[in-house]
Amino acid sequence: MKIAFIGLGNMGGGMAANLVKAGHDVHAFDLSADALARAAENGCTTYTSVREAVQGADAVVSMLPNGAIVNSVYTADVIGHAPAGALLLDCSTIDVDTARLIGAAAASGGYPMVDAPVSGGIAAANGGTLTFMVGGSADAFAKAEPILSAMGKAVIHAGDSGAGQAAKICNNMILGATMIATCEAFALAEKLGLDLQTFYDISSKASGQSWSMTSYCPVPGVGPASPADNGYQGGFAAALMLKDLKLAMEAARSAGSQVPMGARAEELYAAFNAAGNGGQDFSAIIKTL
């Protein structure tokens, strides 16, 4: 297929390369010359505008920083410029309301569209092992699945337009809160004189167990290898966790939902970022406890 790819940064660069490896003809556009140069090295054809990149495309994939940018790219340069009926796939993490608005604008322009945010970081984007949570009609999902499968290990239909973004932010709201809860339990265990490996051995087999503990332990040298063992570098940046928690708070306000734990997690990650720690892995918040 001829696939236009918009936004070839940390995540999009590897994703576009995997579409090339799967045999697609990938037409790339990014505002950054460096990103475009890497895309060309990976076998993409590069263009100087979104409108040029989407000419003749069967599908358009985007991986952009935020909802305002996604909205302006789709409404100004994709809808009405890509061929009628082209499939639109936005893989960025953005707010649910904007995802639904863009989905509706695409539908009125005659384009099937899915919101398809990802779980998994840069390594998963490069390795083609992302998990996609997809919002859109059954028909749009059926068309999107083979394209997304070339970039990921799991592609799950979450529901109608916006449902992918809803699943992503609800999942990451759990993650933010459980990471902080896990960090504070380790900090308290230490102050109470427990050996941290022993506490891990107990809690990982007891009811305190969670992904934050057993797959991504915030304590160096305890549990499987994680960013904690690498000076809290790599992994999932605290700035991105804060972004996702802010989106969750926005969605909760819009839906009238009570999220006291998510709200507290957002406050704590906001303070952690404000102290200049946004580039560290999100598990580094243990250092503040």
Site for ligand NAD (CB under 6 A): which residue of 103, 121, 135, 162? Answer: 121
Give the interface size with ligand NAD as a residue count (CB under 6 A): 25
What is the Cα–Cα distance from 261 to 275, expressed in whole angstroms?
21
Instruction: By CB under 6 A, tell whether 151 contacts ligand NAD.
Output: no
Cβ 199 to ligand NAD shortest distance, Å: 29
Query: Could you confirm whether 246 is annotated as catalytic?
Result: no
* Residue 152 lies near ligand NAD (rule: CB under 6 A): no
Least distance from ligand NAD to the Cβ atom of residue 195, Å: 33
Residue 252 engages ligand NAD in binding (rule: CB under 6 A): no
Q: Which residues pair with 173 in a beta bridge?
A: none
Spatial CA neighbour of 64 closest among 31, 112, 97, 111: 31
With CB under 6 A as the contact rule, which of the stretches 6-14, 196-204, 217-225, 263-271 interacts with ligand NAD? Answer: 6-14
Residue number with CB closer to ligand NAD (30 or 115): 30
- Residues 37-66, interacting with ligand NAD (CB under 6 A): 63-65
Please identify which of the residues 2, 21, 168, 205 carries the catalytic annotation: 168
Instruction: Kindly tell me which residue out of 22, 101, 107, 122 binds ligand NAD, with binding defined by CB under 6 A.
Output: 122
Residue 73 binding ligand NAD, by CB under 6 A? yes
Q: Does residue 10 bind ligand NAD (CB under 6 A)? A: yes
Rounded distance between C-alpha atoms, residue 185 and residue 213, angstroms = 10
Closest chain position to ligand NAD (CB): 9
Q: Which of 3, 4, 5, 6 is in the footprint of ligand NAD by CB under 6 A?
A: 6
Pick 147 or 222: Cβ nearer ligand NAD? 147
Residue 158 CB, shortest distance to ligand NAD, in Å, is 15
| Residues within the interface to ligand NAD (CB under 6 A) | 6-12, 29-32, 35, 63-65, 69, 73, 92-93, 118, 121-122, 236, 240, 243
Active-site positions?
Answer: 168
